[in-house]
Amino acid sequence: MNSRGGLEEMKALILKLEEKRMLDREEFVRLIGWRAARLGRAAGSPGEQEGSPVGSPLPDPAVAGKSTGGAAQNDAGKSTGGAAQNVAGKVTGEAARDVAGNVTGGAAQNVAGKVTGEAAGNFAGESTGQVAQKAVGNAAGGADGEGEALDAFLFDRADRVRKAIYGNKVYIRGLIEFTNYCRNNCYYCGIRRGNGRASRYRLTEEEILACCRSGYELGFRTFVLQGGEDPYHTDDRVVKLVAAIRAEFPDCAITLSIGEKSRESYQRFYDAGADRYLLRHETADDAHYRRLHPPELSLENRRRCLWDLKEIGYQVGCGFMVGSPWQTVGCLAQDLMFIGELEPHMVGIGPFIPHRDTPFAQCEGGTAEMTLFLLGVCRLMLPEVLLPATTALGTALADGREQGIKAGANVVMPNLSPGNVRKKYLLYDNKICTGDEAAESLQSLREHMAGIGYEVAVDRGDHKKYI
Ligand code: SAM
């Protein structure tokens, strides 16, 4: 068999995936690599292999030595205090010290305003600028039409599988981005603590309840509370908030997406009335994880959290960004293997999009095409999964949400946050927050979904195993 494989071989792999709901790792590599090659990402390199890049690829070692690490380090020394104050300004006591105490590295990037302090150090002299220069392109589609032919085949299979279980229903979740304070410093994220330019906010409990009330009126029966890991939001505060929402909206699902906590904390939130938890694993490849995060964060803990959440009884969502820097075909195969192992109820898959005030500012974003492809693959692996067409996909592609639904997604998460803070929850540049992305535009969303043959449901939209 030709190692690059032909269209028919890829279709056969898709049919096998549909039947078995799993492939082995080598098969995932072949399938993803084949599609990536037709986007120009994996092309040119040895072919559809493990190490072929999907995200901005590894910098050329010959030029990596010219990194800006040194300069950034100089700036880091001067900037620690200012940035710390910026992030910790509204945090009190212990929490402030905790944030401030850890902020040194992250500050570098704010002052340097170009490439990273901590990232440069962590990547052993590789600069993100070099990565951008080495990017192999972000082709909009396959030149030979074979890629699109495989997409059409996959999306048709995925659509059938989804319709057999959920019909043509699209489930909506009201997204309340209630705080953009974060103690973490993930290199890709616009609300990382080291971003001194972020305009920080947090909503009060009363403001959050007001969002739920207007969401309920609009027809939302799931509220997703998402935020950075904000030290102000102690377990006691989260428990009180969840209990208040549970008491006022007994017929609604409450989803939390507030990061890594202890098992005890997760249990307390669950006991207070939370039903679901979203925690993307980000990447299931340990070396890749370490390139996206500072040393204090680990894949091991992220995975521990997901297993704890599942054991407690939450409907659990993991997920990953497509095209994050240094992502390879092998990384994505690893993501799918992990998803097969965890069997989550939800999976969040969206393209990486750079944010100008992060260490990855100069990196190339992931493609909508590869994101759509992986949504289709995910639907075949987990027929009952609740799969959002993400805001990032809608940002990368004008009709990304509709395309996502057609590829196998069945969830959209319009923004219920108050209008004056929406632009502040800026995880990446140009994040959309108006138009159909806004909860108040639900009628328009309904019409767009009806236009492609789907119906927006007014119910909690639980995973089949929880109905
Ligand atoms: N703090 C919570 C957590 O850690 O899960 C929730 C908030 S976090 C900002 C939500 C998700 O945003 C992350 O899991 C990540 O995948 C995504 N995200 C962050 N920066 C991004 C970027 N530059 N492009 C695309 N997605 C991004």
Q: Which tens digits make up the pLDDT trace of 142-155?
A: 456 999 999 999 99
Coil/strand/helix, residue 419? helix
The answer to whether residues 187 and 124 belong to one domain is no
Ligand 1, from 321, 362, 391: best to mutate by most atoms within 8 Å of Cβ?
A: 321
Tokens of 201: 């906010």
- The single-letter DSSP state of residue 40 is T
The answer to whether residues 213 and 276 belong to one domain is yes
Residue 215 Cα to ligand 1 midpoint, Å, equals 23
Coil/strand/helix, residue 263? helix
Write out pLDDT tens, residues 348-372.
999 999 999 999 999 999 999 999 9
Segment 94-123 shows an average pLDDT of 32
The answer to whether residues 367 and 448 belong to one domain is yes
**Tell me, what's the pLDDT at 174?**
96
pLDDT(76) > 90: no
Segment 361-390 shows an average pLDDT of 97
* Least confident interval from 126-135, 304-313, 409-418, 436-445: 126-135
Higher pLDDT, 277 or 102: 277
Q: What's the pLDDT band for 436 if we cut at 50, 70, 90?
A: confident
Mention every residue, 6+ apart, whose C-beta is less than 8 A from residue 250. none
Q: Give nearest CA residue, ligand 1 atom 8.
A: 228
Identify whether 339 is part of a domain.
yes
Identify whether 442 is part of a domain.
yes
What residue spans of 192-234 are helical by DSSP H? 205-218
Segment 183-189 shows an average pLDDT of 98
Q: Give nearest CA residue, ligand 1 atom 14.
A: 280
CATH classification of the domain holding 360: 3.20.20.70
Residues above pLDDT 70, as percent of the chain: 78
The CA-based dihedral angle spanning residues 16, 19, 20, 25, taken in that order and rounded to the nearest 10 degrees: 30
Residue 427 Cα to ligand 1 midpoint, Å, equals 7
The answer to whether residues 281 and 330 belong to one domain is yes
Q: How many domains does the chain have?
A: 2
Q: Which atom in ligand 1 lies closest to the alpha carbon of residue 351?
A: 25
Identify whether 140 is part of a domain.
no
Ligand 1, from 191, 229, 280: best to mutate by most atoms within 8 Å of Cβ?
A: 280
Identify whether 34 is part of a domain.
no
**Tell me, what's the pLDDT at 5?**
74
Residue type, position 370, single letter: M
CA angle 13, 405, 179 (to 5 degrees): 115
Last residue of a domain, one of 133, 165, 195: 133
Alpha-carbon distance of 107 to 317, in angstroms, equals 31
Please give, one letter per residue, the 3-state secondary structure of 309-378.
HHHHCCEEEEEEEECCCCCEHHHHHHHHHHHHHHCCCEEEEEECCCCCCCCCCCCCCCCHHHHHHHHHHH
Higher pLDDT, 423 or 113: 423
* Least confident interval from 28-32, 36-40, 68-72: 68-72
Pocket of ligand 1, beta carbon within 6 A: 188-189, 191, 226, 228-229, 257-259, 279-280, 282, 321, 350, 352-353, 355, 392, 427-428
**Tell me, what's the pLDDT at 40?**
75
pLDDT(267) > 50: yes
Alpha-carbon distance of 81 to 99, in angstroms, equals 11
CA angle 105, 109, 112 (to 5 degrees): 125
Q: Which atom in ligand 1 lies closest to the alpha carbon of residue 188?
A: 23
**Tell me, what's the pLDDT at 394?**
92
**Tell me, what's the pLDDT at 48?**
56
Q: Give nearest CA residue, ligand 1 atom 20.
A: 189
Q: What's the pLDDT band for 421 if we cut at 50, 70, 90?
A: very high
Decide if 338 contacts 328 (C-beta within 8 A): no
Residue 192 Cα to ligand 1 midpoint, Å, equals 10
**Tell me, what's the pLDDT at 60?**
38
Q: Give nearest CA residue, ligand 1 atom 2.
A: 259
Which string of b and e fits 140-162 if b means at least 16 CB within 10 Å? eebeeebbeebbebbbebbbebb
Global confidence as pTM: 0.84
Residue 243 Cα to ligand 1 midpoint, Å, equals 25
CA angle 285, 290, 295 (to 5 degrees): 145
What's the helix, strand, coil split of the chain in %, to 5? 50, 10, 40
The answer to whether residues 109 and 159 belong to one domain is no
Identify whether 420 is part of a domain.
yes
Q: What's the pLDDT band for 266 if we cut at 50, 70, 90?
A: very high
The answer to whether residues 427 and 351 belong to one domain is yes
Residue 25 Cα to ligand 1 midpoint, Å, equals 26
**Tell me, what's the pLDDT at 4?**
58
Q: Give nearest CA residue, ligand 1 atom 13.
A: 280
Closest CA to 189 of 394, 426, 349, 437: 426
Segment 210-237 shows an average pLDDT of 97
Identify whether 46 is part of a domain.
no
The answer to whether residues 194 and 236 belong to one domain is yes
Alpha-carbon distance of 461 to 411, in angstroms, equals 9
The answer to whether residues 155 and 128 belong to one domain is no
Ligand 1, from 395, 427, 429: best to mutate by most atoms within 8 Å of Cβ?
A: 427
What is the overall mean pLDDT for the chain? Answer: 82
**Tell me, what's the pLDDT at 57?**
57
Residue 113 Cα to ligand 1 midpoint, Å, equals 21
Alpha-carbon distance of 324 to 467, in angstroms, equals 35
**Euclidean distance between the first and final Cα of the chain, in Å?**
45
**Tell me, what's the pLDDT at 42?**
53
**Tell me, what's the pLDDT at 52?**
79
Alpha-carbon distance of 400 to 369, in angstroms, equals 10
Decide if 117 contacts 75 (C-beta within 8 A): yes
**Tell me, what's the pLDDT at 435?**
73
Q: Which atom in ligand 1 lies closest to the alpha carbon of residue 348?
A: 16
pLDDT(282) > 80: yes
The CA-based dihedral angle spanning residues 182, 306, 311, 269, taken in that order and rounded to the nearest 10 degrees: 10
**Tell me, what's the pLDDT at 126?**
34
Residue 14 Cα to ligand 1 midpoint, Å, equals 29
Identify whether 412 is part of a domain.
yes
Alpha-carbon distance of 346 to 196, in angstroms, equals 33
The answer to whether residues 71 and 184 belong to one domain is no
pLDDT(93) > 70: no
Identify whether 141 is part of a domain.
no
- Residue numbers of the domain that contains 80: 61-133
Segment 111-128 shows an average pLDDT of 35
Higher pLDDT, 352 or 121: 352
Write out pLDDT tens, residues 302-361.
999 999 999 999 999 999 999 999 999 999 999 999 999 999 999 999 999 999 999 999
The answer to whether residues 413 and 319 belong to one domain is yes
The answer to whether residues 112 and 155 belong to one domain is no
Decide if 257 contacts 348 (C-beta within 8 A): no
Residue 263 Cα to ligand 1 midpoint, Å, equals 21
The answer to whether residues 169 and 258 belong to one domain is yes
The CA-based dihedral angle spanning residues 108, 302, 59, 328, taken in that order and rounded to the nearest 10 degrees: -160
Residue type, position 196, single letter: G
